[in-house]
Chains A and B, each alone.
Chain A
Amino acid sequence: DSGVTQTPKHLITATGQRVTLRCSPRSGDLSVYWYQQSLDQGLQFLIQYYNGEERAKGNILERFSAQQFPDLHSELNLSSLELGDSALYFCASSVEGHYNSPLHFGNGTRLTVT
């Protein structure tokens, strides 16, 4: 168990809809990262937050947004969903700024858009 909790485990929704994925980082970790994994794209970095502030952006679409709350949990919002958004979404957390700070991943949310 990595200590990173993601909910829900599975989500099925229709095109055009909006969903929210939730991530609770490991205790003490200030950084949260979101990744998308689809069959044809591999693991793609979306966005990173550190202590409530956006730190880095990757290949995140404008239809997607995220935030990190004062209690350090994070939410990834996906709107105007398309069939191609079907994927596994992973959250990871780490202790920022320490050399010994590997990322620890949750077990993901599987999103199916029909």
Chain B
Amino acid sequence: DAKTTQPPSMDCAEGRAANLPCNHSTISGNEYVYWYRQIHSQGPQYIIHGLKNNETNEMASLIITEDRKSSTLILPHATLRDTAVYYCIENQAGTALIFGKGTTLSVSS
């Protein structure tokens, strides 16, 4: 079973930052926090991952709390194409991802 907790849905206005929270209070020292998203019925798309430091790439930023029990995915300027289900997963690198229900992000104009 998935070990992370995410809100089932969130709304965001186009052009605004989308901040998606995730709780992973049972994460162990060698587990990373991974974020994926799934647009409609396409294959899940990798967004970003981190261990304990904040990370940024061309898609998003990942903020991990110091105790590593929670994190926030930030899409700095959400567009309509960012409407998707976002999954937060705690996982050891190279092992199978166990998906929960994720957060359905709806971006509207």
Contact = CB atoms under 8 A, between A and B. Distances in A.
Interface in B94-109: 94-101
Interface residues of B, number: 21
A68 interface: no
B98 A45 contact: yes
Interface residues of A, number: 31
B93 A4 contact: no
Interface stretch (A12-20, A75-83, A100-108): A100-108
Contact of B43 (A95, A96, A101, A105): A105
Interface in B2-58: 32, 34, 38, 41-46, 49, 51
A44 B1 CA distance: 10
Contacts, number: 61
Given A43-B44, A90-B43, A105-B44, A48 B99 contact: no
Interface in A80-114: 88, 90, 92, 94-108, 110
A88 to B, nearest CB: 6
Contacts of B94: 31, 94-98, 101
A107 B43 CA distance: 4
A98 to B, nearest CB: 7
B43 A108 contact: yes
B41 A48 contact: no
A27 interface: no
Given A42-B101, A97-B94, A103-B97, A90 B44 contact: yes
A104 B36 CA distance: 10
B34 A33 contact: no
A100 B96 contact: no
Given A2-B45, A33-B96, A48-B95, 5 more contacts: A2-B43, A58-B96, A99-B93, A102-B34, A102-B49
30 contacts: A2-B45, A31-B94, A33-B96, A35-B99, A42-B99, A42-B101, A43-B99, A44-B99, A45-B96, A45-B99, A48-B95, A88-B41, A90-B43, A92-B43, A96-B94, A98-B93, A98-B94, A99-B32, A101-B94, A102-B34, A102-B46, A103-B44, A103-B97, A105-B43, A105-B45, A106-B43, A107-B43, A108-B41, A108-B42, A110-B41
